[in-house]
Amino acid sequence: MTSKALLYKRKILKELCFGNVLSALELSIRIEKSLPLTTRILNELVDEQILKESGYASSTGGRRPQRYSLVAGKMYVVSVAMDQLVTRIGIIDLQNCDISLSQKYNLVLSHNDASLSTLTKYINGFIKKSGIKKDKILGVGIGMPGFVDVDKGVNYSFLDHKGESIPAYIEEIIELPVFIDNDSSVIALTELKLGSAINTKNTMVINLGWGVGLGMIINGKLFRGNNGFAGEFSHIPLFENNKLCACGKSGCLETETSLLVVIEKAKKELDKGRVSIIKKIPADFEEACNTIISAAINGDQMAVELLLNMAYDLGKGIATLIHIFNPELIVLSGRGASAGNMLLAPIQHAINKYCIPRLSAYTKVIISTFSKSAELIGGAALVIENYDKKHSKQLITLLNN
């Protein structure tokens, strides 16, 4: 097979990932190739049993177009979602985007080689345990906190490998293409490919959790900035509150709006003797979040108040984004999104206060429908994003069998 035909096949497979079912004409437009060429490649892929015909689309006044989709169990991606304390690894069938298997590991991130080799061992072990052959796995996508330079493959905050490429190190050992990115970018990719931001060109995805991350979709593509550090929304100077931030400055957005701050404030209130259905805040971050959010959902006044105040302050930050980007959509995602629609009213309130009405009128704010799986699925999107760019031995094998 010529290398060009292979490229076109990849482009088609890429379009059909994540459960997409498309007609020959639609595919021809998306891969920007002529219909005869697209049809030929499509037929080859069906012969190779990687694609299947899957029914007809409804007619728009004429013959119904044949639709194509991936065959299940043929193409997988391994995805890794990391935070400071816990790492989850999953394997995802690209046909339906289901997480076939996932596992949780305790891995405290530090800025040294040790975390990296541990991580690699975990991934390797996981793949073996999954029982899925490597030639069916397109690659490994890893979302991690910190300052990640995607091009250099370096994380300046964690997993230091003497400034050398992290993906290169892992690829060496597990023999699969590896891609890394910042956790907020990965969550934004999920919203873009499978979530509320599908088909949008200009969307801001806010990752509310430990801090406040931002993934930006600009012109329909994830924007990472010049060194991959774009979206450091957490630390824009927004308040004059004299509160010291983890970054060393004061008045950062993060000093008022993050789940960590809410937890701290809740502790203080309880210490002051405030009544609440919450008796004690758990030490574990994830449990603490769940405790406060579910208390709020159950109507606990203190929890509601804390979350609403946070949302209002976040709204001021969002107002800044609207002025700068004029986005069509803002998606609230990440762990904090599980507080749900409760957050929307104060955010909208702040937007009304801090935005020129002409601008805010064009931007919708919504809550992500994804639960915790957003980052895991985004890791798959990360691999697919690079699928028609980077050389992958796996597909060649798959296509030649």
Partner DNA sequence: TCGAACTAATTAAATTTTTTAAAAAGTTTT
Partner DNA sequence: AAAACTTTTTAAAAAATTTAATTAGTTCGA
Q: Is the dihedral of CA 221, 223, 228, 232 positive or negative?
A: negative
214 binds its own copies (CB under 8 A): yes
Q: CB 138 → DNA: shortest distance, Å?
A: 22
In the list DNA, its own copies, none, the entry touching 66 (Cβ below 5 to 8 angstroms by class) is DNA
The residue within the footprint of its own copies, chosen from 64, 104, 121, 323 (CB under 8 A), is: 323
25 versus 396: smaller Cβ distance to DNA? 25
User: Which span sits near its own copies by CB under 8 A: 61-69, 216-224, 301-309, 381-389?
Assistant: 216-224
The residue within the footprint of its own copies, chosen from 76, 126, 285, 325 (CB under 8 A), is: 325
Identity of residue 107: L
List CB contacts of 393: < 8 A, sequence separation 6 or more.
none
236 binds its own copies (CB under 8 A): yes
Which pairs from 271-276 meet CB under 8 Å and 24+ separation? 274/302, 275/302, 276/300, 276/301, 276/302, 276/303
156 binds its own copies (CB under 8 A): yes
How far is residue 184's CA from residue 204's CA, in Å, rounded to a whole number?
11
List CB contacts of 389: < 8 A, sequence separation 6 or more.
none
The residue within the footprint of DNA, chosen from 6, 29, 30, 39 (CB under 7 A), is: 39
Determine the longest span between alpha carbons in the chain, in angstroms: 74
Q: CB 400 → DNA: shortest distance, Å?
A: 17
In the list its own copies, DNA, none, the entry touching 155 (Cβ below 5 to 8 angstroms by class) is none
How far is residue 165's CA from residue 180's CA, in Å, rounded to a whole number?
10
The residue within the footprint of DNA, chosen from 23, 84, 250, 338 (CB under 7 A), is: 23
389 binds DNA (CB under 7 A): no
The residue within the footprint of its own copies, chosen from 66, 290, 320, 348 (CB under 8 A), is: 320
Where helices occur in 49-165 by DSSP H, the ranges are 113-130
47 binds its own copies (CB under 8 A): no
User: Which span sits near its own copies by CB under 8 A: 33-41, 64-72, 85-93, 221-229?
Assistant: 221-229
Residues in the chain: 401
Backbone angles phi, psi at 384, to 5 degrees: -65, -40
In the list DNA, its own copies, none, the entry touching 133 (Cβ below 5 to 8 angstroms by class) is none
How far is residue 290's CA from residue 283's CA, in Å, rounded to a whole number?
12
User: Which span sits near DNA by CB under 7 A: 36-44, 137-145, 253-261, 282-290?
Assistant: 36-44
> Using CB under 7 A, which residues numbered 164 to 193 contact DNA?
none
How far is residue 140's CA from residue 181's CA, in Å, rounded to a whole number?
11
CA Rg value for the chain: 23
Provide the strand spans (E) within 83-225: 86-93, 98-106, 137-144, 148-149, 154-155, 178-182, 202-208, 212-218, 221-223
List CB contacts of 272: < 8 A, sequence separation 6 or more.
none
| Residues at the site binding DNA, with contacts judged by CB under 7 A | 2, 4-5, 8, 23-25, 32-37, 39, 56, 58-66
| Residues at the site binding its own copies, with contacts judged by CB under 8 A | 147, 156, 201-202, 214, 216, 218-219, 221, 223-233, 235-238, 240, 247-249, 316, 319-321, 323-328, 353-354, 356, 358-359, 362-363
